[in-house]
Amino acid sequence: MQLLLITRPAGVGKSTLSWEMSGQLAAAEVAHAVIETDELDRVFPRPNTSELDRIQPGTVDVSSINLAAIWSTYQALGHTRLIMSGVMMHLSFDKQWILSAIPEARITVVRLLAAEPTLLARLAQREIGSGADEQAQRSLRQARRMASEDAEGIIVLPTDGKGPAELAETVLQKAGWLDIGGRQKE
């Protein structure tokens, strides 16, 4: 089971890249699924540990339970490739909850980079209302904190000045999901 994990701060282009990668894979007739991690825990009120433990003993995060449920359906349909996107502020912890949901996953991390002016411009296009300034500041804090993380074994992808199609093709080729001719690698 191969999992491409698209990470970095809010507004960097994770969702856009995931959608474009999905489009390119579909065009090449490569079976895959896409999950945005934000949707795995979008619930209010958040369940507490005892509620989660009742559903699945030892679980402390609803995201892991939901990912396991969703993946079990995709796996039953024969899928072996998953694109996931999320901020992933604590990559080692995030890999643990992902692997608890999908133990057989071989995770390839894709870290997107954007200069702060680019990040702010992208956020300005999508964020509106009273939370826009707060989201911009949160994204900048995330980007600055993540800048010091080790990149060993990670696909690092600068996004400034590049379109989604070019970025998606680069990731899919580096991950070995498409060859140069656009066909699935065996």
What confidence category does residue 186 fall into, taking pLDDT thresholds of 50, 70 and 90? very low
Average pLDDT for 133-160:
78
Distance, CA of 175 to CA of 110 (rounded, Å): 9
Residue with tokens 């899919």: 172
Mean pLDDT calculated for residue range 157-178: 93
User: For 2-175, CATH number?
Assistant: 3.40.50.300
Dihedral over alpha carbons 172, 1, 77, 73 (to 10 degrees): -110
36-86 pLDDT, tens digit each: 999 999 999 999 999 999 998 988 889 999 999 999 999 999 999 999 999
| pTM of the shown model | 0.83
Average pLDDT over residues 152-162: 88
120 or 56: which carries more pLDDT confidence?
56
Q: 43, 63, 59: which is closest to 51 by C-alpha?
A: 59
Higher model confidence: residue 104 or residue 146?
104
Question: Residue 136: is its pLDDT beyond 70?
Answer: yes
Is 127 a residue whose pLDDT tops 70?
A: no
pLDDT, mean over the chain: 87
When pLDDT is averaged across residues 166-176 and rounded to a whole number, the result is 95
Alpha-carbon torsion, ordered 144, 145, 149, 153, to 10 deg: -80
What's residue 140's pLDDT?
74
The DSSP letter of residue 9 is S
Domain layout of the chain by residue ranges: 2-175
- Three-class SS of residue 100? helix
